[in-house]
């Protein structure tokens, strides 16, 4: 007999865990380039930047959707959207990529 505890679904992620998972997903994008204000950055540099923006947002950002909108969509200085050039050469907005990643993350749990 399998203990009921082993059959239970995994606990849902907290919003902070979702945000950190999104940032880590950016950091793990092998072969991708993160474009911020026309300058290319490595996935690790992009993740570090997003973490800093999240930290600076403080209590204003409580959920993963708020994080995407307030911290990961674009530059607060220039207003230009962040972009991700994927390994296959396609360029997508960071906003769209992160929304897709968040949906994937939430449905896979």
Query: pLDDT tens across 23-34, in order?
Result: 999 999 999 999
Do the domain assignments include residue 27? Answer: yes
Greatest distance between any 2 Cα atoms in the chain: 60
Above 90 in pLDDT, residue 85? Answer: yes
Do the domain assignments include residue 9? Answer: no
Q: How many domains does the chain have?
A: 1
Whether this model's pTM surpasses 0.85: yes
In this prediction, residue 86 has a pLDDT band, given cuts at 50, 70 and 90, of: very high
Tokens at residue 22, please? 């999104």
Can you give the pLDDT at residue 32? 97
State the residue range of the domain holding 68: 14-108
- Taking residue 82's Cβ as centre, other Cβ atoms within 10 Å add up to 23
């Amino acid at each position: 007999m399998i203990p009921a505890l082993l059959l239970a679904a995994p606990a849902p992620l907290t919003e902070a865990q979702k945000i950190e998972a999104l940032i880590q997903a950016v950091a793990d994008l092998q072969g991708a380039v993160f474009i911020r204000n026309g300058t290319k950055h490595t996935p690790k540099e992009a993740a570090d930047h997003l973490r800093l923006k999240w930290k600076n947002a403080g209590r204003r950002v409580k959920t993963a959707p708020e994080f995407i909108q307030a911290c990961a969509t674009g530059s607060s200085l220039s207003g230009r959207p962040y972009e991700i050039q994927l390994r296959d050469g396609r360029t997508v907005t960071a906003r769209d990529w992160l929304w897709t990643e968040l949906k994937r993350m939430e449905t896979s749990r």
